[in-house]
Structure 1
């Protein structure tokens, strides 16, 4: 992962994703772009002439400049290559545009302005579905990431899981152990997909040895079962295909992706 794009925003998980980006950059000899995006699209009910928006602009600009100055001071002594890019507009749109020439996008688990709401981020969902680069979601309590630590791949044989596996190869090649974890479900036999053995064979062609782990379906949610399996094996992150069902089904019924993003227990590497 030589080109790393980080969402720079003053929220509770900024420090976490900054440290994770630095860890990945150091391990890979990569370069980090911190993208700060500020939207002036402020809507105030009844403010037909934009007076409230005009009054808010100086405060918004000042807060953005203070955040940048503070973060750049923190980064000044870090032994990694980085740059700061400032763009006007919605963060989701600007990250999507800039991702075309980046290998990975690092974001927090919450939407802008919804810090700590514990619900799936719409921005993360859109980036995972539309961006040409994979997305790494970093929870606020992440102190750092050991790039040599084990990694768990949530495997269900879907095309989305295959895409995520391929995208994660640069990181999987650095991990001390790779676990292909499948949670058994009653309807598994009716699916025409790729078995874990095929995924392991694919990784072997890249010089990566993977251990297949089959987990019985218990009473817990699949997302919780996968998080527990990853934590038991001291994994640094979990790789998973994003939104294996239709997005509408995920919104209405929930799904492993949606539940995992509601309260991520460790960094989640997503691709669709």
Structure 2
């Protein structure tokens, strides 16, 4: 991966995803594009004449400039190639617009201004609409060791195939790759693409993955996958996102939504 699109914002996960971007850039010789998007679309009930908006704009701009200076000062001490893009507008819109000539979008797990657990609307929009994969980095991430083992969550779907294919440059750096499927007692033949086909694809890139099938038991599939990754000391999990319609995931809950609500490690997502 040679071109990383990094979302810049003053949220609590900024340091974590900056570190991950730096780790990937150093390992692969990639260029980091730092994209800072500032929106003045502030909803102020009863602000018919825009007075609250006018008062907020200087403060928003000052905060954005302070953040830029702080991060640029840090980047100036790093041995990586980078550039800065400052754009007005909603972050997801600007990230989508700029993603076409990048290899991956790096974001945090929360929407702008929101904290705590809960699937991010912005991440969902990016995963579904961007022409490139999305790497979601939780706050707890200290670094991304690309030489550590990595895990691919495999359910035989076309989304899983896309995720595996687009993650191949990073998987090639890993010391070990696991293709992990979650089995249930009621399962029938459920794979459009058996795990062995995913393994054959990776083998053409010199990657010899281990195929693993774990029993779900009483746990949620997302929890089972995170446990499987942690047991194998994986630094990242690759997953095909929104295999069902996004509406059904929102209404009924799904593996993607539950995983994004409380990610336990960096998640490389593609649809």
Separation in 2 of the partners of 1:153 and 1:87? 34
Structure 2 length normalisation: TM-score?
Answer: 0.98
The separation in 1 between residues aligned to 2:35 and 2:210, in whole angstroms, is 37
Task: Give the match's secondary structure for 1:164.
Answer: helix
- TM-fit CA distance, 1:200: 0.6
Q: What is the alpha-carbon distance in structure 1 between the residues aligned to residue 247 and residue 185 of structure 2? A: 23
**Aligned residue for 2:261?**
262
* Distance (whole Å) between structure 1 residues aligned to residue 186 and residue 124 of structure 2: 26
Deviation at 1:192?
5.0
Question: Hey, what does 1:146 align to over in structure 2?
Answer: 145
1:44 matched to 2:44? The reply is: yes
Cα shift at 1:186: 4.2
1:6 corresponds to which residue?
Answer: 6
Q: Does the 8 A contact of 2:102 with 2:132 survive in 1?
A: yes
Counterpart of 1:124?
123
Aligned residues: 271
- d(CA) in 2 for partners of 1:205 and 1:43? 52
List aligned pairs for 1:105-184, cutoff 5 A: 105-114=105-114, 116-184=115-183
Is 1:194 paired with 2:193? yes
* Residues 5-25 of structure 1 deviation map (CA, whole Å, 9 limit, x = unaligned): 000000111000000000000
* Stretches of structure 2 lacking an aligned partner (at least 5 in a row): none
Aligned twin of 1:30: 30
Distance 2:225 2:52 in 1: 47
Could you tell me how far apart the structure 2 residues matched to 1:242 and 1:44 are?
Answer: 34
Superposition deviation, residue 187 in structure 1: 5.0
Q: CA deviation at 1:117?
A: 2.2
Q: Contact 2:109/2:120 (CA < 8 Å) preserved in 1?
A: yes
Q: Is the 8 A contact 2:236 2:267 kept in 1?
A: yes
Secondary structure at 2:86 match in 1: strand
Residues 116-155 of structure 1, C-alpha deviation per residue, up to 9 Å, x if partnerless? 2200000001100110110000001111110111100000
Does the CA contact (< 8 Å) of 2:38 and 2:64 recur in 1?
Answer: yes
In the alignment, what sits opposite 1:80? Answer: 80
Q: CA deviation at 1:191?
A: 2.8
**1:217 positional shift:** 1.8
Q: 3-state SS of the aligned residue for 1:189?
A: coil
Give me the whole-angstrom Cα distance separating, in 1, the residues matched to 2:171 and 2:118: 28
Partner Cα distance (1:117, 1:48) in 2: 32
SS in 1 for 2:188: helix
Matched residue, 2:97: 97
3-state DSSP class of the match of 2:207?
coil
Whole-Å Cα distance in 2 between the matches of residues 215 and 13 of structure 1? 31
1:241 paired to 2:240: yes
Q: Quote how far apart the aligned CAs of 1:190 are.
A: 4.5
| Aligned residues: CA RMSD | 0.9
Contact 2:30 2:81 in 1 (8 A): yes
